[in-house]
Amino acid sequence: MLSYLKVENLAVVEKAGLDFSPHLNVLTGETGAGKSILIDAIMLLLNKKAPASIIRGDKDKLTVEALFSRDDEETVLKREVTRSKSLSYLDGELAPFAQVKEKAEALLNIYGQRDHVFLLNTANHQVYLDQFAQNAALLEQLAAACRQLRALQARWDGLQEKNRQAQERLDYLGFQLQEIDALGLKAGDDALWQERLKILAAAETILERSDALVEDFYQKDESVYNQLARSLAATDYLASLFPEFAHFREEIDRFYNLLPEISAYLNSLAGKVEFNENELNEISEKLARLEKLKAKHKLDLEGLLAKAGQLRAERDELLNLHFSLSDTEKEIARELEGYRALHGQLRQARRQAAKKLSALVVKELALLEMEKARFEVRCEEIEPDAGNVAESGTDRIEFYFSSNPGQAPGRLKDVASGGELSRLMLVLKSLGNDESGATFIFDEIDSGIGGKTAEFVGEKLRKIAAANQVICISHLPQIARFADRHFLIRKEFRDNRTYSSAAVLEEGERVREIARLMAGSTINADVLKAAELLLARSRR
């Protein structure tokens, strides 16, 4: 909702501040007073083009500032235009104009003689029809089915691409796996190979030292074993006299009995460490190849083993691509069947709503002095397939219109005038249930009408304003009488300059302005009484 609009130095407006009602606001005033200039001020938040000529007189800068509020959230949009540059602000912070425009477009709906973006964009016709038909739940289901289909199609496309490249990829995977598998790797192999390499490289030294130990421990006459054998009687004697020595006697005896086992193990090393040049070369080569693979893939041994697992999984997937493609095609067929069923329900709902809406709009347009107008909602039915789905359906919805008898309806965007678009927009907004809390601005929607038609327009504006904010520029008392807040735009001349100002009318002032709209400058007691009665009728 547009809560407050502040304008400074825009054309004839030196300074104006308008505090808007959340419902129906009507701006009236004499021709040339500057009513449309306030709409032009708002348009500066939507159109980047701002010629220096719109800056008032000899002033250096014009400013437009708008405060929007909804629930507890407030947004401030501001535009400053000088004779050399333009600046835009969002909530007090300097911002790109595109960002300010995007925010303004989301907050404002302007319908004037030149501003009919909504109706001229045929995509909005479908949006409006679905809102009129209350298709939200059905659209949500269709959108979910569409997203699922697109995901499946993307998977199928990916599988197809893989299939096309499968042989080349299989060759590559085979080469990578052969490099890793050729080494017959297992976890921890690199450490084991390093250890074995050390042993083979030191085989001669190992054998020399183990033989020497066998001699010293067990085989020669003066071996440790023989010396201990001669000492055992003495240790037995001491242990019999000194019980505390018995523990040491047991350890000596244990070591004595262990020496044959140690010697046997040392003798067996000859079979384990016998120098084998072929084995040495083979392990050296394996380690070199392993280090090369680690460097190539930037992985350790565990990483290489994991990578090999991934390569095998991908190879198996490629070898079974035709199964995956077939399964995905079946899934797509199932999902497409579900999508088509929902699409059929949506199409039927749209057909019924289109027929109902067309009849209602024609009836309402007749009350706006467009008795001969024809309005049709046409649905171009396009069957969905796997390659053609959309979240809102594949059918094309467009409004067709004719204002002249005997003339076939044409595309609305091609045949309707600005005034016709304004009235049609008023009818659609009064019939629809699409928005609540929005701001609608109607600029001279009453152009060329009067009498009962003007009454009808006023009623429609009041109906829209029941759930939304409406700002309307008007010159008709039948419309102004419905205002929740009535602004008078005045023009006066001072010091050879033109000044426009805006003020909210109190009850008595409002009666006089309604009287002026009814009778022009000739206002008497009868006209004032008629104005009072008109206002009284609007309160019923």
Read off the pLDDT of residues 390-428 as tens digits, 9 standing for 90 and up: 999 999 999 999 988 888 999 998 988 777 887 888 888
- The residue ranking higher by pLDDT, 177 or 148, is 148
Q: Phi and psi dihedrals of 377, rounded to 5?
A: -105, 110
Check residue 413 and give its pLDDT: 86
Read off the pLDDT of residues 104-130 as tens digits, 9 standing for 90 and up: 888 877 765 544 567 888 888 999 999
Check residue 112 and give its pLDDT: 56
Nearest to 291 by CA among 196, 175, 190: 190
Check residue 360 and give its pLDDT: 94
Residue range 352-368: mean pLDDT, rounded: 92
| 449 has pLDDT over 90 | no
Most confident by average pLDDT, 182-186, 368-372, 511-515: 511-515
Residue range 491-518: mean pLDDT, rounded: 85
Read off the pLDDT of residues 265-306 as tens digits, 9 standing for 90 and up: 777 766 666 655 666 666 667 776 777 777 777 777 777 777
Residue range 476-501: mean pLDDT, rounded: 85
- The residue ranking higher by pLDDT, 113 or 160, is 160
Give, in order, the Cα–Cα distances in Å from 527 to each of 66, 451, 493, 536, 539.
37, 16, 28, 14, 19
Percentage of the chain exceeding pLDDT 90: 30
Tokens of 287: 């380690």
- Range of lowest pLDDT (79-83, 176-180, 364-368, 406-410): 176-180
Check residue 50 and give its pLDDT: 78
Relative to beta strand 86-90, strand 73-82 is antiparallel
Read off the pLDDT of residues 127-140 as tens digits, 9 standing for 90 and up: 999 999 999 999 99
Give, in order, the Cα–Cα distances in Å from 201 to each of 63, 194, 207.
90, 11, 12
pLDDT band, very low/low/confident/very high, at 353 (cuts 50, 70, 90):
very high
Check residue 277 and give its pLDDT: 63
| 52 has pLDDT over 60 | yes
pLDDT band, very low/low/confident/very high, at 333 (cuts 50, 70, 90):
very high
Most confident by average pLDDT, 179-183, 379-383, 442-446: 379-383
Domain ranges in the chain are 167-319
Whether 201 and 277 have beta carbons less than 8 Å apart is answered as no
- The residue ranking higher by pLDDT, 138 or 226, is 138
pLDDT band, very low/low/confident/very high, at 186 (cuts 50, 70, 90):
low
How far is the C-alpha of 179 from the C-alpha of 192, rounded, in Å? Answer: 20
Read off the pLDDT of residues 17-35 as tens digits, 9 standing for 90 and up: 899 999 999 998 887 666 7
Check residue 347 and give its pLDDT: 96
| 379 has pLDDT over 80 | yes
Query: Which residue is listed with tokens 């209602």?
Result: 360
Whether 413 and 120 have beta carbons less than 8 Å apart is answered as yes
Give, in order, the Cα–Cα distances in Å from 8 to each of 81, 472, 501, 537.
11, 21, 11, 37
Check residue 278 and give its pLDDT: 67
Residue range 317-337: mean pLDDT, rounded: 86
Check residue 361 and give its pLDDT: 94
Query: What is the reported pTM?
Result: 0.61
Nearest to 3 by CA among 429, 436, 434, 439: 439
Quote the Cα angle for 290-296-297, to 5°. Answer: 95
Check residue 275 and give its pLDDT: 56
Give, in order, the Cα–Cα distances in Å from 264 to each of 252, 257, 267, 268, 342.
19, 12, 5, 6, 86
Looking at residue 383, its amino acid is E
Check residue 67 and give its pLDDT: 94
Residue range 247-263: mean pLDDT, rounded: 83
Check residue 344 and give its pLDDT: 95
Check residue 224 and give its pLDDT: 77
Coil/strand/helix, residue 12: coil
Per DSSP, 409 falls in state P
Check residue 433 and give its pLDDT: 63
Check residue 342 and give its pLDDT: 96
